[in-house]
Amino acid sequence: DGGITQSPKYLFRKEGQNVTLSCEQNLNHDAMYWYRQDPGQGLRLIYYSQIVNDFQKGDIAEGYSVSREKKESFPLTVTSAQKNPTAFYLCASSIGQALGDSPLHFGNGTRLTVT
């Protein structure tokens, strides 16, 4: 079955450490996204990528970094510069026609806790 896999489901880190969240898709989608969700809130866009080797900052990119070396993979690194990293992180993909009519497909998220 095609889909998006995020791992791990739960992640714990000490403050000051960088951590990388994995996102892999086998849907052959061009566009991939990272969102952050805080309790009781909607989703906020961190980074998105429309094609391999290209990505753009979303609304809350500070303290995060990404890479897109392969079509299937879009890892997110939460750096020590991110002031409030504890959150639920969601990866998504879409066909990427840039027409606004391609539905998003989401993974089941990674819950990151930093203490």
Assess 11 for contact with other proteins (CB under 8 A): no
60 binds other proteins (CB under 8 A): no
Question: For residues 82 and 94, which CB has a smaller minimum distance to other proteins in the complex?
Answer: 94
For position 109 contacting other proteins by CB under 8 A, the verdict is yes
Question: Please, where are the H alpha helices in the chain?
Answer: none
Burial (CB count within 10 angstroms: exposed 0-12, middle 13-18, buried 19+), residue 42: exposed
The 3-state secondary structure of 59-89, one letter per residue: CCCCCEEECCCECCECCEEECCCCCCCCEEE
**Judged by CB under 8 A, how many residues of this single chain contact other proteins?**
31
50 binds other proteins (CB under 8 A): yes
Chain residues binding other proteins by CB under 8 A are: 4, 31, 33, 35, 40-45, 48, 50, 58, 88, 90, 92, 94, 96, 98-109, 111
